[in-house]
Amino acid sequence: MTRELLKVLAFLEECLRFSPRSIVLTLISLVVVLALTWVLWIIFEGSASHLQTTFNPKSDNTESIHDLYMIVWVLSGFVMVGVLTLTMAFSLIFRERPGAPPAQQFHGNSRLEIIWTLIPIVIVVAIAIPSFQVILETEGDPPANSLDIVATGHQWWFEFEYPEENLITANELHIPVGRPVSIELRSDDVIHSFWIPQLVGKVDMVPGHNNRLWFTPYEPGEYYGQCAEYCGTSHANMRFRVIVETQEGYDAWVANQTNDALPAVGTEAQAGEKIATTLCAACHMIRGTSTNTAFAIKGPDLTHVGSRNHIAAVTMENNSENLAQWLKNPPGVKPGSRMPVLALSDEQISQLVAYLQELQ
């Protein structure tokens, strides 16, 4: 093996002729390539602070994917630096010079060919082994103590059902920290993809074929989720938030969400309740009122819509101005929205806003 290596070195020496000039040019190439790699690293590191980043994992699932990614990143980094440095150095050393004879040509070298076939094989195997380990780890059955949730993709919003707790919500997933969450993924219409960059990798929501994923969140906080499969006009506006909270915080949230909606209190809200339980009831459920969901077109459950931080699949913060804007022209906020323009008067809109905000 040492002899083979010496032969390769001799070959390289002949290529480069190891003149002081070629050594300097090779070193300059290496410095330039390392500087470029460093800039890439800065960009890579910087993106860890973004909200939809996979570089700042906060669960067992994303951490193992991230660790695997780092192995790939480092190995391909070495390949990139080596190949780019030699490409640049050779282009400088062997560049055309007027009057100079062409560099010596080489044809066929079995040893070199075997070496540059073996190196990629070793790299691919080094990536494949941990990849299979991560696949087995993350795709296996969820732990027995998992919290079961059913997530359904709709054009263009997410519905979350908690069968054990007997509650349904939309676009806002609350989970306790440190407990595995097992989510069954369904679709009501077309193919969507469920993705929480910091908590779990993408898994498709396919109509008629339910998938499952599971993960254990490590840290309380608010995380961003996004549909990751083009599903129509408002695909980019199909977002959700994940609130990872302490067990006490989660229990309090569940206790509130399982309550029925309270009757409207304010005069304006009472008028709003009348509109909501007649007009809105065609598509929306408000538990504890006369609404029900036995209809073909179905919108989000509004029983506790006032308690959510956002509306319209997290395209807007939940406040009176945005609610009014949404009610006035839903497709104007979320193009293609299944909720039509209801031609409500300004008075009706402020009555509805008053009522919806009471639904805490």
Choose one: 209-217, 224-232, 250-258, 333-341; the region binding ligand CUA (CB under 6 A): 224-232
Among 60, 172, 229, 245, binds ligand CUA (CB under 6 A): 229
Using alpha carbons, list the distances in angstroms from residue 223 to 73, 219, 245.
25, 10, 11
Using the minimum distance from each CB to ligand CUA, give the nearer residue, 30 or 206.
206
Distance of closest approach, residue 89 Cβ to ligand CUA, in angstroms: 46
Q: Taking Cα atoms as reference points, which of 331, 329, 352, 353 lies closest to residue 342?
A: 329
Q: How far apart are CA 159 and CA 150, in angstroms?
A: 8
Using the minimum distance from each CB to ligand CUA, give the nearer residue, 236 or 342.
236
Under rule CB under 6 A, residue 281 binds ligand CUA = no
Distance of closest approach, residue 231 Cβ to ligand CUA, in angstroms: 3
Distance of closest approach, residue 255 Cβ to ligand CUA, in angstroms: 31
Kindly provide the residue ranges of all beta strands, DSSP E only, lying in 216-357, ordered along the sequence: 221-227, 239-245, 310-311, 316-317
Q: Taking Cα atoms as reference points, which of 60, 50, 55, 53 lies closest to residue 217?
A: 60
Q: How far apart are CA 176 and CA 230, in angstroms?
A: 30
Using the minimum distance from each CB to ligand CUA, give the nearer residue, 143 or 207.
207
Choose one: 68-76, 91-99, 106-114, 228-236; the region binding ligand CUA (CB under 6 A): 228-236
Q: How far apart are CA 161 and CA 181, in angstroms?
A: 13
Using the minimum distance from each CB to ligand CUA, give the nearer residue, 93 or 227.
227
Under rule CB under 6 A, residue 153 binds ligand CUA = yes
Distance of closest approach, residue 335 Cβ to ligand CUA, in angstroms: 13
**Largest pairwise CA distance in the chain:** 95
Q: How far apart are CA 333 and CA 316, in angstroms?
A: 9
Give the pair of three-digit tokens for residue 7. 């032969």
Among 58, 66, 186, 192, binds ligand CUA (CB under 6 A): 192
Around Cβ 48, how many Cβ atoms within 10 Å?
Answer: 12
Choose one: 4-12, 95-103, 140-148, 231-239; the region binding ligand CUA (CB under 6 A): 231-239
Among 33, 167, 196, 238, binds ligand CUA (CB under 6 A): 238
Q: Restricting to residues 155-184, name those near ligand CUA by CB under 6 A.
A: 156
Contact in structure between 338 and 155 (CB atoms under 8 Å): yes
Q: Taking Cα atoms as reference points, which of 324, 338, 175 lies closest to residue 247?
A: 175
Q: What is the 3-state secondary structure (H, E, C) of 308-330?
A: CCEECCCCEECCHHHHHHHHHCH
Give SS3 for 260.
Answer: coil
Distance of closest approach, residue 287 Cβ to ligand CUA, in angstroms: 26
Under rule CB under 6 A, residue 231 binds ligand CUA = yes
Distance of closest approach, residue 29 Cβ to ligand CUA, in angstroms: 44
Choose one: 26-34, 160-168, 227-235, 265-273; the region binding ligand CUA (CB under 6 A): 227-235
Among 199, 227, 302, 356, binds ligand CUA (CB under 6 A): 227
Distance of closest approach, residue 161 Cβ to ligand CUA, in angstroms: 17
Q: Taking Cα atoms as reference points, which of 183, 359, 202 lies closest to residue 286?
A: 359
In DSSP terms, 307 is beta-bridged to: none
Using the minimum distance from each CB to ligand CUA, give the nearer residue, 65 or 313.
313
Contact in structure between 183 and 159 (CB atoms under 8 Å): no
Q: Taking Cα atoms as reference points, which of 89, 83, 86 lies closest to residue 25?
A: 89
Q: Could you tell me how many residues of this chain bind ligand CUA (CB under 6 A)?
A: 9
Q: Which residues bind ligand CUA (CB under 6 A)?
A: 153, 156, 192, 227, 229-231, 235, 238
